[in-house]
Amino acid sequence: MELLVASAIGILTATGVYLLLRGRTFPVVVGLSFLTYGVNVFLFAMGRLTLDAPPIIDEAAASYTDPLPQALVLTAIVISFGMTALLVVLALRGYLERGSDRVELGAAEEGAET
């Protein structure tokens, strides 16, 4: 299971970084999503991988899994979801106003270069 989770985190992150370096906004948005998925699984795994163990006090339980990373992941998911939504709106608005979805600033937008 360790190998599976570790390689999943690795592939998600690598995909994310690759897409992030692309020149158009859509791949960048998708890349950021992959990166946040990667970090979510990573955070989850930081509480160690435990099978069939409850995260809260239970008299019958022999062992526990760490509940804190799960709470952290929840917070991270909420924030990254909101941010992705904002980024999509921003990219769309930028595409409509600038007529291009390229990431770099064009000469016209640099302004003041006259």
Site residues, another protein (CB under 8 A): 20, 25, 28, 32, 35-36, 39, 42-43, 46-48, 68-69, 72, 75-76, 79-80, 82-83, 86-87, 90-91, 93-94, 97-98, 103, 105-106, 108-114
Give Cα separations from 5 to 31, 56, 77 (angstroms).
19, 23, 18
When the beta carbons of 54 and 80 are compared against another protein, the nearer one is 80
Nearest distance from C-beta of residue 29 to another protein, angstroms: 9
Nearest distance from C-beta of residue 3 to another protein, angstroms: 18
CA-based nearest residue to 84, from 34, 11, 24: 34
When the beta carbons of 2 and 60 are compared against another protein, the nearer one is 2
When the beta carbons of 60 and 104 are compared against another protein, the nearer one is 104
The strand pairing partners of 24, in sequence order, are 102
What number of CA atoms fall less than 13 Å from residue 74's CA on the CB side? 5
Q: How many Å separate Cα 7 from the centre of its chain?
A: 16
